[in-house]
Copies of this chain bind each other. A is one copy, B any other.
């Protein structure tokens, strides 16, 4: 805890980045939305492509657990900035601070805003943590076609592909969109998409910041030092 009016949030990136400004990008976005939050960001080593597959998740998990355990000693809450929520359950049991993931946060926040949720991904499939939370309120799933890299999302073609995907979700009856990859936050396109869309577009990183901030009250010791998401409660 840093002081009466601020909270410290750890932001763990599962993408290995060399530039500390790149590592800190999601934390900066959380600070912009929640100015009382001070974020500390770190990334796992050896994963320059992030976690693009189930195999990569298995490989990355020990790094996430080690880094998360280290970061957890210094913050009021820890946020794992990946929609797969790798390591969230284990870290939440292991640490005495709240641990949240972008996947559960975007899914839960979408359910707080609409009843028929559409997911929007960059690669095939919606992460299981998001599918499990949405249940039969997962109305439709779309993928941004051609989005091999997040840079593509800011091109004219990428922008058109996103708009087409959102249109398909709305036509399928979705009244809220849950981006199922934090790469959509990284690309910086979500605010722009929101201006064009007729339904709320939840930012997974902002949602994660909101859920983490709600679990910690500024100006007092964290009271919510509990373990959650038990596999076997």
Name A's B-contacting residues (CB within 8 A). 5, 32-36, 98, 100, 104-105, 107-116, 132-133, 135-137, 170, 173-176, 191, 194-195, 197-203, 206-207, 209-211, 213-215, 217-219, 223-224, 226-230, 233
Whether the Cβ atoms of A224 and B211 lie closer than 8 Å is no
Q: B residues within 8 A CB of A227?
A: 198-199
Whether the Cβ atoms of B109 and A229 lie closer than 8 Å is no
Query: So how many copies of this chain end up in the complex?
Result: 2
Whether the Cβ atoms of B211 and A223 lie closer than 8 Å is no
Give min CB distance, A38 to chain B, whole Å.
Answer: 13
In whole angstroms, how far apart are the Cα atoms of A69 and B217 in the complex? Answer: 31
Query: Nearest chain-B residue to A129 (Cβ)?
Result: B115
Query: Nearest chain-B residue to A172 (Cβ)?
Result: B233
Query: Nearest chain-B residue to A112 (Cβ)?
Result: B108
Whether the Cβ atoms of A34 and B32 lie closer than 8 Å is no
Whether the Cβ atoms of A226 and B210 lie closer than 8 Å is no
Query: Nearest chain-B residue to A206 (Cβ)?
Result: B214
Whether the Cβ atoms of B213 and A226 lie closer than 8 Å is no
Whether the Cβ atoms of A34 and B100 lie closer than 8 Å is no
Choice from B111, B209, B211, B228 contacting A199 with Cβ under 8 Å: B228
In whole angstroms, how far apart are the Cα atoms of A176 and B135 in the complex? Answer: 18
Whether the Cβ atoms of B113 and A133 lie closer than 8 Å is no
Whether the Cβ atoms of B224 and A200 lie closer than 8 Å is yes
In whole angstroms, how far apart are the Cα atoms of A100 and B135 in the complex? Answer: 21
